[in-house]
Structure 1
Amino acid sequence: MTGMIQRRETFLANIAKQLGRSPKTELPRPTWQYQPQDRVLKDATKDELVEILIKQCANIHTNIVISNTATLPEDLQDVVDKYGGQSVITWKDKRFQDYGLSALMNEQWPQANIQLYEWDSQQPEENIRQAEKANIGVTISEMTLAESGTAVLFSSKDRGRSISFLPEKSIIIIPKSTIVPRMTQAARWISEKIRQGEKIASCINFVTGPSNSADIEMILIVGVHGPIQATYIVIDDQ
């Protein structure tokens, strides 16, 4: 079966036999005496994490808009206008509808001559072609790290990773409820999903603003190998 590991136990048992050891199918998780990573921003509220995210966005050359479910269509339209409109590519994601964006995307954008393309798992080559020519890519963060200003994007057949890489501008919608202090919580969250047997994305991208590159002289260049501009729109969904 595609994507399945075949004869894993037999393979591991053979290696153990050759090494003269009994096969181990499960290893104990280490217990650490000190975990300083858990203390960073431990008691920060969601509002405090938003303030930290705002400050970090200034460091990573990323615009940030604070919104809510009522004003999201207007705020998204404002960012799209500032980025020049023209063409937008999005995931095929029910959350856009849940956030009240259907009328904006499917009615107002065509009327304003803004071309919308929704990722189609049945047309892989066309998806890439559309992502390459799109002016703006719109995605949604699964979890957002306040400390570094990082959005965590889960790819799937309906959520192509090219949408956050190929268009010139990137807009990432960030539900306020997803904001956590740092990578510590994200790694633990993903690990827990795996331990519980939950199927997670085969590709997880940690995106921190527009693309950045620096040579040996530490001269920062923005937009060398990805979006040249990025905006986070934080929705107060609590």
Structure 2
Amino acid sequence: MMTGTIKNKEVFLNQIATSLGRERQIQNAPVRNWKHQPQHLVLKDASVDDLVEVLRLQCEKIHTTLIETNLKELEKTLKETVSVHGGGPIVTWKDERFSNWGLSPLMNQTWTSEGVSIHEWDYTKEMENISLAEKANVGITISEITLAESGTVVLLSDKDKGRTVSFLPATLIVLVPKSTLVPRMTQAAQKLRSIHKQGKQVASCVNFITGPSNSADIELNLVVGVHGPVKASYILIDDL
């Protein structure tokens, strides 16, 4: 993973302020309390079950299969879902939650013994990761925040979670813990803001993914799979 050094930061920021004809603002901008904040009212009183139903209906609209399971049945459900989508090759993040959820036997033994190719992201391999993701049939990731209203999963990239896992394979399978459900973008932004305010590092690459890639730019004709996965499945895990 490449790292860089910031040089001439102060000179650069001061020059921008001068070009704008004002003093540079050193302190944080004041928090504004707007009189009307309708963004907080949508699904304000929704329960988790309510959000699941909203997500279920939205997935139908965004050409995404929603599969509901629990931690006990997760291994079986994931294996069946990959099979339905045509099997491997598979690429995944390197994430300890796979092990915590009991998926290690499937990923490290079962699929291998069945001749299914699976590659776990390894940041030291750089371009090899991308090449394998490009050839993969299935990419498996985990949603950190899930927006029920739009059927959007939020993926936070880091050195062990390459973003190409989610957009180069033909099929995207996202494991969605029920505990990650929020009503909409408003709450997702608040969560990311909270991470920052706690002094934790926010991922430099935050991906908001709503089902398979699609575009209706040409004559308003919807085409699915234009610049990413052609198919997408969310596996909703009851972890509460």
State the 1:7 CA deviation.
5.0
Q: Distance in 2 between matches of 1:119 and 1:21?
A: 47
What is the aligned partner in structure 1 of residue 144 from structure 2?
142
Q: Say which is worse superposed, 197-206 or 169-178, in terms of deviation.
A: 197-206
What is the aligned partner in structure 1 of residue 111 from structure 2?
109
Aligned Cα root-mean-square deviation (Å): 1.8
1:190 maps to a residue whose letter is L
Could you list the runs of 5+ residues in structure 1 that have no partner in the other structure?
A: none
Match of 2:76 among 74, 77, 99: 74
Q: Distance in 1 between matches of 2:19 and 2:194?
A: 33
State the 1:11 CA deviation.
4.5
What is the aligned partner in structure 2 of residue 122 from structure 1?
124
Q: Say which is worse superposed, 194-203 or 151-160, in terms of deviation.
A: 194-203
Q: Secondary structure at the match of 1:122?
A: helix
Match of 1:173 among 169, 172, 175: 175
Q: Does 1:47 align with 2:13?
A: no
Q: Does 1:24 align with 2:7?
A: no
Q: Secondary structure at the match of 2:124?
A: coil
1:111-153 superposed Cα distances (whole Å, 9 cap, x missing partner): 1111110000001110011001111000000000000000000
Identity %: 54
**Distance of aligned partners of 1:15 and 1:182 in 2 relative to their CA distance in 1, 3 Å threshold:** closer
Q: Secondary structure at the match of 2:54?
A: helix
Q: TM-score with structure 2 length normalisation?
A: 0.93
Q: TM-score with structure 1 length normalisation?
A: 0.94
Q: Secondary structure at the match of 1:233?
A: strand
State the 4+ residue runs in structure 1 displaced beyond 6 angstroms.
17-20
Aligned length: 238
Map residues 27-38 of structure 1 onto 2, 5 A cutoff: 27-38=29-40
Q: Secondary structure at the match of 2:98?
A: helix
Q: Distance in 2 between matches of 1:106 and 1:8?
A: 46
1:80 maps to a residue whose letter is V
Q: Say which is worse superposed, 4-13 or 139-148, in terms of deviation.
A: 4-13
**Distance of aligned partners of 1:4 and 1:85 in 2 relative to their CA distance in 1, 3 Å threshold:** same
Q: Distance in 1 between matches of 2:229 and 2:17?
A: 48
State the 1:88 CA deviation.
0.7
Could you list the runs of 5+ residues in structure 2 that have no partner in the other structure?
A: none
Match of 1:221 among 196, 220, 223: 223
State the 1:101 CA deviation.
0.2
Q: Secondary structure at the match of 2:123?
A: coil
Q: Secondary structure at the match of 1:127?
A: helix
